[in-house]
Structures are given as structure tokens and as C-alpha cells.
Amino acid sequence: MKKPSITLIASLVAALFAVAPPVHAQQAKRPNIVMIVADDMGFADLGSYGSEIRTPNMDALAKAGVRFTNFYTHASSSPTRSMLLTGVDTHLNGLGNMDEWTAPNQWGLDGYEGVLNNRVATLPQLLKGAGYHTYMVGKWHLGKNPDQIPAARGFERDFTLLDGAASYWDMTNFTAAAPKTVFTENGRYLTRLPEDYYATKTYTDKMIGFIDESRADGKPFFAYVAHQAPHDPYHLPKDWRNRHVGEYDKGWDAVRQERLKKQIELGITPAGTKLAERMWFIPDPVVLAPASRAILGKKMELYAGMVENLDHHVGRLVDHLKSIGEYENTIFIVFGDNGAEGTDLFKMIAGSPGSRDYLWAAANWSQTNPNAWGDPGSYIGYGPMWAQVSMTPFSQYKGWVAEGGVRNALILSGPAVKRPAGSINHGLMHVADFMPTLLDVAGTSYPKSIAGKDLPPLAGKSWGPMLAGKVDSVRTDKDYLAWEIFGNRAVRQGDWKLRWQWKPYGTGEWELFDLKADPVERSDLAAKQPDKLKAMVALWDDYARTNRVILPSRGPFETLVDVLPMRVPDDPGFPPLIYKRQFVPPKDMMADPKP
């Protein structure tokens, strides 16, 4: 009998592999990962976290999964994003300070490039190497040069805003020096936007297209959906602007109280929790004229519409995954990237009357009539009073390392989550944990080096044991978290929180808080607990030394002490003068004057 030829054997082997799936495909299918990041959305802005804003789609993910109450990000956008994509501390990955605010004494130093540097590996890079498709839509804010854009850092498909903020309608930017926002699509810089562009809708359309494009090969995907919403300016279609008309005329104090009550009912916040002090420069809405309350309330109406529109498009993506049979095998991660925005960014950008950027703003962002709010050319933010509502019950907001600047809502659902559906977890979690956690989910690990270059150590911990229901927290009371941005700095270990903030938001000295007894940071214990203060400062020194922290010589808040009124205590009803109502004598003692 004639022996089979080498060519025939090769043909048989090829045929065998053509009909038999590769070994890895025969194993349990690895889950898809959808990470939805809401820009500047606060801890209390979802219905499942106590809000009156209607967010049924994100709330449904919470009902199917787990909500977290002690999840920490950074205090601003690009530092948070740098950690979620690398698992490495900001002072090592290039975002030791934001590119927009890098201080003179930080210029040119490693870790302060203002972009994601080339000494770190990224989550999409490692997931791609592990056999995942990697897609991104939305805001990047981590570099614009060809070697810094998403396509160069591990994403095989993208539709990306490279800037930190933008119009939702077009490419109009905020300064005369940079009049046009910059976008990429699949690694190419765009000359224009699609004809029907609206940021939140277009990002969702693009992500659905990316998922469908490669679905036939059966590979799992990592979808990073980094929405602009609800970052200002508050741009949204007309039919989303009037869903809360008049609802916020009652003022910020009343809404904060309502949200806190709901949070306690839901189990998000412990019974007995009090609200953080209203910022001393924010008026009690009770003393404002009705017209003033209405116009300020309209800003919050727009913000609520932004969040509801975002939720609608999250629902579109979830529904699509259900329709193509991928929902059950998808892990969903939903969170806000930092505290809500209480600073008037537009005022900071435009500057003084007569300046170049002030004139640019007047010409290109001129739609100031309230009836035009939401249109192209309008710029509306909701201010510190409503930012405090978004961060109920916590103190302060974005840019600061009080709890309102760094703590946020987090929802996880999907096949990796073995905890009871709809449950709430109070364990200490951090945004840097995503890298080790998702590498575990993908069945891969963090390498010691890439291309001969040693990688910095991971700052985070894998949530595997917690998601499996074996522990409630992956951190012990010995572990600590630490932050520094703009010179504001903080440490948390167990229930203890140490913070240093610029005046007048801080004292310019170390403050110490027991977050179990005082989650809203009303009572500084530094003087009463000198030994604990000393121990916490030692942790800060360890963090600063390990991560090569260089405190900035200048920052965005350097003139606040001169601009804001002197800080005073928050005592409801003071001064009594403005709360005293008209005295009305007893009726039986009333009389007309005698002639």
C-alpha cells in the first residue's frame, strides 16, 4: 500500500483544525467586560444611590449585581483614568499632576509628564495580548501625540475625544490658543465629526458597531465606554431638557435632605448619618428670591436631564448585548470618575474681561439666555450648591480630597459576581484595583516587564475573593490608600482619614477624621488624637517617598483665600436677623390710631 504523502498529511491536519476549535475555545468562555465611566457624576446621582433622577437602566444593573459604598477614585479626571488603565499610582504613570495644571517645579520630571508615560503597561494592551478585543469610545484625556492616543496604548478600535472636556454638538473648544477639540477614530485624527453627532448617542452607536464588527470570531471583548456626560457644558437634545421643570426650585438643602433620607432607607448610608456642612459661601436657598431659586434650579434640571440621557444610552448598549446573546456573559462596571464638579470651569478658562480667552468665549460661547441652555454655544455648569447635592452626604466635591472629591458610586454585575443580587458592599475599594481584578477575570497576569523594560508595581488589589463572596473587603486595617493632587493630599487606613487641603477648603494643616463615626468629616480630631495623627502622617511620608511625590509650587486654587469670603461655621438659622418673620400682634390687641 502506498504511503500517504507529506502533502496529504498536511492537508488532513489542516482539515482537522478547520473543524475542531482550538483548545482555548473549548474551555469555558471568558466573560466580556463593559466599563462605563460617567464624567463628574456624583455618588448620589443614581436612583439606586438615593437620587430622584430617573436612572432605570443603571439601577437594573445594580439590582442584578452589587453596589459599593466605599469605592475611591482620584479627585480629578485624568489621574483617575490613568490609574484605572494602568493600576499604577499617578506619580509613576505620568499623571502626578494634570497636564493643564502641572506646576513649574514639576516640569520635565518623570511621573509629571501630564500624559500616560511609556513606562507603564495598559489594561487594554494586556487584555489584547490575552485574546480580547479592545474597544474604546468617549473621553481619553491622557495624551494627544501619535504615541499617546488610544490606538497606541492597546485599543484596536476607538472613537475618542482626546481633550478633557468639549461641546457635545461640535468641535468648538474653549480657548483661542486651542480653538478646536481633537478626536481620533481607529487611530486616525478626525477632520470633522459625523453629521448627526451628539456625544452620548454617537459614542454608544460606535461601540455597538465595534462589538458587531468582530462578533463572528467568538473572542471576548473589553469595551471602555468613557462618556463625557454629565460633565459640563450641559448640552442635550431639547426633549431631554424639561423633565424636571420646577422640581429643584425648593433648593439644594431640601434635595440633599431627601437624598440622605433615601440613602438611609436603601442601606447606602448608615442610620444617624448627618449631612456635611453646606459650603460657607453658598447661600441658604430659603433666603433667595423665588426667581433666583428658579434660575438656579433650571441648571440642576439640565444636569438631571444629562444623567437621564446617559442612562438611556447605557440602556441601548445593554439591550443590544441582550439581543445578540452576550448580556449573560458580560461583566458590567459603572462608576463616576471623581466627585461632582463644583468649580466654575468656564470662568477659570475665560479669565478676565479684555483677555484673549474672554473675547473668544464671548464670541463662541455666547448663548447665555436660559431658553438656549443646552444648545450649541451655551455653557452651563450647576455650581457648588448642586455639586454638594450630587455628593450627598459627603463634604466638598471634585478637585479636593475630602470624601466628596474622591468617593463615588460603583456598580458591578455579571458572571464574575457571586454575591447576592442587589446586595450592598461596604468594603474599601480603589480605582487602581481594576487592573489586577480584570486580568484575573481574563485568565492572565501582570507581567514584571515588557520589551525588556521593568514595569512599576501595581497599586491595587484583585477583587477576586470579594466578588466570590469569600470576604467583604480585600483590604485589612493595615492597608492604606493615599492621594495627592494640586497639593491637596490624604490617607485612609481602616476608618481613619488624614487630609491636608489648601485654605479655605482646608486649614493648611493636617486634619484627622474618624469616618465610621463621622463620614462627612465635620469633626477634626487632630488635636485630640496626637498619636493617631503621628501614625497617619508616617503613612503619608511612606506613600510620598515610595511614589516620588513632588508637591506643586503653584496650583488652580492659589487665589481662593482672596476670592472667597472668610470661612465661617455652618450653624443653621444664623444670623437670626434674616430668618425673623414679620411680627404679628394678637388680634384682640389690634387698634386703629385715635384721631
CB atoms within 10 A of CB 478: 7
- Give me 124's grid cell: 487594554
Q: Tell me what pLDDT residue 72 has.
A: 98
**What is the pLDDT at residue 554?**
96
**Which regions of the chain are under pLDDT 50?**
1-26
Q: Are 465 and 440 in contact (CB under 8 A)?
A: no
Q: What share of the chain is helix, strand, coil (3-state, %, to 5)?
A: 35, 15, 50
Name 203's Cβ contacts closer than 8 Å, sequence gap at least 6: 137, 138, 159, 225, 227, 228, 313
Amino acid at 276: A
> What is the set of domains in the chain, with CATH numbers?
29-475 (3.40.720.10)
Partners of 482 in the β-ladder:
491
Q: In angstroms, rounded to a whole number, what is the distance separating the alpha carbons of residues 92 and 551?
A: 14
Instruction: Look at residues 145, 146, 99, 149 and name the one whose alpha carbon lies nearest to residue 124.
Output: 149
CA 127 to CA 485: how far, in whole Å?
A: 29
State whether the Cα torsion 78-84-86-90 is positive or negative: positive
Cell numbers that stand for 150 in this block: 488610544
How is residue 498 written as a grid cell? Answer: 488624614
CA neighbor of 40 nearest in space, from 318, 294, 383 = 383
| Burial group, residue 170, by CB count within 10 angstroms (0-12, 13-18, 19+) | middle
Closest of 267, 533, 282 to residue 387, by C-alpha? 282
How far the first Cα of the chain sits from its last, in Å, is 141
For the record, the C-alpha cell of 479 comes out as 492597608
Paired residues of 67 in beta bridges: 411, 424
Convert the pLDDT of each residue in 515-552 to its tens digit. Answer: 999 999 999 999 999 999 999 999 999 999 999 999 99
The pLDDT value given to residue 11: 41
> Prior bond to 575 cis, omega within 30?
yes
> For 54-115, what is the HEC assignment?
CCHHHHHHHHHCEEEEEEECCCCHHHHHHHHHHCCCHHHHCCCCCHHHCCHHHCCCCCCCCC
- pLDDT on residue 266: 98
Nearest partner of 159 among 124, 128, 200, 218, judged by Cα = 200
Instruction: Please tell me the predicted confidence (pLDDT) of residue 572.
Output: 87
d(CA 26, CA 295): 60
SS3 484: strand
Count other Cβ atoms within 10 Å, centred on residue 181: 19
